[in-house]
Amino acid sequence: MLTEKEAKKFYNSADWKRKRAFILARDNFECQECRNRLLRAAETGEILIGKDRYIHYAQQVHHIKELKDYPELALDDNNLESVCISCHNRIHGRDPDSIKAEHAEAKRPKQWQEFW
């Protein structure tokens, strides 16, 4: 288990910033949740409407198994996926505070913004 403070420190670390860039590039900046939704719809014949028809641009990297519960998987490629903001909100139950804490957006250094 990580404390809030430890998690925050992790999200500000150079290791995480490097890893996040790597994961976004690996996923071609495509939201993996959107991708799964489209694949699922293609299989089941489900009709998608509006914005759900597209794979959105991924801006964030999500820990599939939560960082706080699985700190040993913090930098594990298999535990990381690129996600768009709306999918990320959905995954986290639309709790904007947890997203904010997780990604520490306010503190993102300037040179980092080109990835967004």
Minimum distance between the CB of residue 111 and Zn ion, rounded to whole angstroms? 23
Q: Which residues bind Zn ion (CB under 5 A)?
A: 31, 33-34, 56, 62, 84, 87
Q: How far is the CB of 110 from Zn ion (least distance, A)?
A: 23
Cβ distance to Zn ion smaller for residue 20 or 56: 56
Q: Which residue, 74 or 84, has its beta carbon nearer to Zn ion?
A: 84
Query: Which structure tokens are listed for 112?
Result: 């980092």
Residue showing tokens 């495509």 = 30
**Closer to Zn ion at the Cβ: 18 or 100?**
100
From the CB of 113, what's the least distance to Zn ion, in Å?
A: 19
- Beta carbons of 12 and 107 less than 8 angstroms apart: yes
Contacts of 74-77 spanning 24+ positions with Cβ under 8 A? 74/10, 74/16, 75/15, 75/16, 75/19, 77/22, 77/23, 77/26
